[in-house]
Amino acid sequence: MTITGTGVLPAQHIQTMIADGQIAASPAILPAQVQPASLDLRLGDTAYRVRASFLAGAGRRVTDRLAEFEMHRIDLTRDAVLEKGCVYVVPLMERLALPDDVHAVANAKSSTGRLDLLTRTITDSGVEFDRIPAGYDGPLFAEICPRSFSVKVRPGMRLNQIRFRHGQAVLDDDTLTALHTRDTLVTGGPAVISDGLGFSVDLRPAQGDLVGYRAKPHTGVIDLDLIAHYDPAEFWEEIHSQNGQIILDPGAFYILVSREAVHIPPDFAAEMAPYLAMVGEFRVHYAGFFDPGFGHAAAGGSGARGVLEVRCHEAPFVLEHGQIVGRLVYERMAKRPAQLYGSGIASNYQGQGLKLSKHFRTP
C-alpha cells in the first residue's frame, strides 16, 4: 500500500492494510471492527493474572516477562471474571507487521473508559504503553486493570482500539484557530486554544442539578456483553450541585460532562489529552479517541459533548463550573474516511450529553 497523505489513516486504508497482511488476526478480522479512523482490538482466549503492571522493555518479549510476573491463568472461554483491583495481561487476536513509515497509537474504547477499566496496549520491546513504533512486527497484548467494577469478559470482546498514522499531522495553534473560525469546533463556551483545544466541565446544567455520577465502592459484576441492562442506581451515586461546584474525593471515580459541545470535522480526528497538573491532582480521560464526524451535524451529532472520566488523587479537590480540565489535540486525516462516526454505524455516543456506558439503562 502506498500512502500519499500525511495523518491518521482512515477506514479504507485500514482495510487495505488488512488485505495486505500488515494487520492480521486469528480468527479473521470482522468488518465491524473497522471504525472511521481506528481498528477495534479483540481479546484472546487467555488472561494472565500478574503481580504488577509492566512493560516488556527494549529487546524483550512480553511472553518472557509474563513468565516472570504471572500468578495464574484464566480461561476466558468460560465467562471469566476479572476482579476489581487486579492486573491482567491478555494476548489479543490481532498482530501487526507495520510498514516502516506507519506508526500506531492505542487507547481504550469509550465504553471501557466509562467503566473505569484501565486498559492499555503493550508490545514486544515496548518502552511505552499504547505506542507502537513504525515497522513493528509482532503480537499485541492488552493490560487490563478494573478499577471500580469487576467485569465478566469473553474472547472476542473489544476493549481497546488502535489508530495508524503516516507522519505527524497535529495541528498547531494557529491552524487550529483557523479551523475553529471556519468550522466552529466548540459551542457553549469560548474556544481556549493552547497546545490543543481546551474544554471545561459543566456543573450548571440547563435543566435540574444532576451534574454527574460517582462509582459505588461495593457492587456486583458487570457482564460486558449486556447492553442497556443494568440499573444505574446499583452501581452509581448521582452527583448534584446547586452552586456550580463539587468536591472530588481521593480515589473516587466520576462521570462528568464537558460544558462545550465538541465538533470533529470529517477531515480531522482528535485525541483527548490531559491539561496541566498544576490545575489539580486529578486525571481526566481514559478513552481518548474522537473520530471524524463526532458532533458533526451532517452525521447526526450536532451538540455532542465530551464525557469526562475523572479520578481524583492525593487530596480532596474542589471542581468548579467552567474550569478547564482537558484538551483535544486535533490532527489531519490522511484522507477523508469513507464513513463518518454516527453515519449508519454502531456509534453509541453520537449527540450525547451526560451519559453512562452503554451497559446501563437510561435513568
Model pLDDT, residue 312 = 82
SS3 call for 318: strand
Q: For the chain, what are the domain ranges?
A: 7-166, 173-332
Instruction: Specify the 3-state DSSP secondary structure of 50.
Output: strand
Buried b (16+ CB within 10 A) or exposed e, 146-165: bebbebbbebebbbbbbbbb
Question: Residue 311: pLDDT band by 50, 70, 90 thresholds?
Answer: confident
Assign 220 a pLDDT band (cuts: 50, 70, 90): very high
- Tell me how crowded residue 263 is: count the other CB atoms within 10 A of its CB: 25
C-alpha cell at 179: 479551523
**b/e 105-115 (16+ beta carbons within 10 angstroms → b):** bbbbbbbbbbb
Residues facing 80 on adjacent strands: 153
Radius of gyration of the chain (CA): 20
Instruction: Specify the amino acid at residue 129.
Output: F
DSSP letter at 67?
A: H
pLDDT of residue 122: 97
Amino acid, res. 114: R
How many angstroms separate the CA atoms of 105 and 133, rounded?
Answer: 9
Superfamily of domain 173-332: Deoxyuridine triphosphatase (dUTPase) (2.70.40.10)
Tell me the mean pLDDT in the region 15-27.
Answer: 96
C-alpha cell at 192: 481556549
Share of the chain above pLDDT 70, in %: 90
pLDDT at 296: 67
More confident residue, 312 or 226: 226
The H-or-E segment that residue 245 falls in is strand 245-248
| Residue 250 DSSP SS3 | coil
pLDDT band for position 270 (cuts 50, 70, 90): very high
Length of the chain equals 363
Please give the pLDDT value at position 299: 42
pLDDT band at 137 (very low <50, low <70, confident <90, very high): very high
Question: How many CB atoms are located within 10 Å of the residue 294 CB?
Answer: 26
Asked whether residue 233 carries a pLDDT value surpassing 90, the answer given is yes
Q: Do domains 7-166 and 173-332 have the same CATH topology?
A: yes
Q: For 88-115, write each residue's pLDDT tens digit.
A: 999 999 999 999 999 999 999 988 889 9
Residue 260 pLDDT greater than 80, yes or no: yes
Start-end of H helices in the chain: 11-19, 62-69, 110-114, 173-183
What is the bridge-based pairing of β-strands 151-153 and 222-223?
parallel
Q: Residues 360, 115: contact at Cβ < 8 Å? A: no
- What local confidence, expressed as pLDDT, does residue 289 receive? 87
Model pLDDT, residue 305? 83
C-alpha span between 254 and 276 (Å, rounded): 19
Lowest mean pLDDT among 217-226, 234-243, 332-341: 332-341
Per-residue pLDDT at 272:
85
Q: What is the mean pLDDT of the chain?
A: 89
Q: CB of 41 within 8 A of CB of 106?
A: yes
C-alpha cell recorded at residue 267: 477531515
pLDDT value, residue 303: 60
Given this model, what pLDDT does residue 283 score? 61
pLDDT tens, residue by residue, 292-308: 988 766 444 456 788 88
Alpha carbon distance 285, 108 (integer Å)? 10
Q: 7-166 in CATH: which number? A: 2.70.40.10
pLDDT computed for residue 314 by the predictor: 77
Looking at the chain, the number of H-run helices and the number of E-run strands are 4, 27
Q: What is the pLDDT of residue 117?
A: 92
**pLDDT tens per residue across span 316-345:** 989 999 998 888 899 999 999 988 876 554
Q: Is 0.85 topped by the overall pTM?
A: yes
Per the CB < 8 A criterion, the answer to whether 96 and 22 are in contact is yes
Query: pLDDT (tens digit, 9 = 90+) per residue, 247-257?
Result: 999 889 999 99
Q: What is the mean pLDDT of residues 180-202?
A: 89
Contact present, 43 and 90 (Cβ < 8 Å) = yes
Q: What is the pLDDT of residues 40-94, one digit of tens each?
A: 999 999 999 999 999 999 999 999 999 999 999 999 998 899 999 999 999 999 9
